[in-house]
């Protein structure tokens, strides 16, 4: 019985994410980078965690670390996108 509940929960998560992901404004550069970093961190953390016998803990820690790194990179990229058009001047002599 527990296995069936777990399988149902795990199968419903991607569907919920897909429905919620289609709602609202398109994602900003910062948001895309945060999600990508989190996903990469979960994968890397699960791999490293499985080597030491704790894939769940590794995935959780990796996901948080990856999301933070992705946020930092995405924030810098988005600030550059906003800054560049306003501060880039062409001078012709």
pLDDT digits (tens, 9 = 90+) for 50-85: 899 888 889 999 999 999 999 999 999 999 988 876
pLDDT digits (tens, 9 = 90+) for 14-23: 777 666 666 6
Please tell me what DSSP assigns to residue 27.
P
**Under 8 Å between Cβ of 63 and 38:** yes
Residue of 57, 35, 37, 55 whose CA lies nearest to 46:
55
Residues with Cβ < 8 Å from 58, sequence gap 6 or more?
A: 45, 46, 47, 48, 49, 50, 52
Q: What is the rounded CA–CA span in Å between residue 41 and residue 64?
A: 7
pTM of the model: 0.65
Beta strands of the chain (E only): which ranges? none
């Amino acid at each position: 019985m527990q296995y069936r509940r777990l399988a149902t929960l795990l199968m419903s998560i991607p569907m919920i994410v897909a429905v919620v992901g289609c709602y609202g404004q398109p994602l900003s550069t910062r948001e895309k980078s945060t999600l990508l970093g989190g996903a990469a961190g979960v994968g890397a953390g699960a791999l490293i965690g499985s080597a030491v016998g704790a894939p769940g803990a590794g995935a959780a820690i990796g996901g948080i670390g990856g999301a933070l790194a992705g946020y930092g990179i995405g924030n810098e990229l988005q600030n550059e996108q906003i800054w560049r058009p306003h501060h880039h001047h062409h001078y012709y002599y």
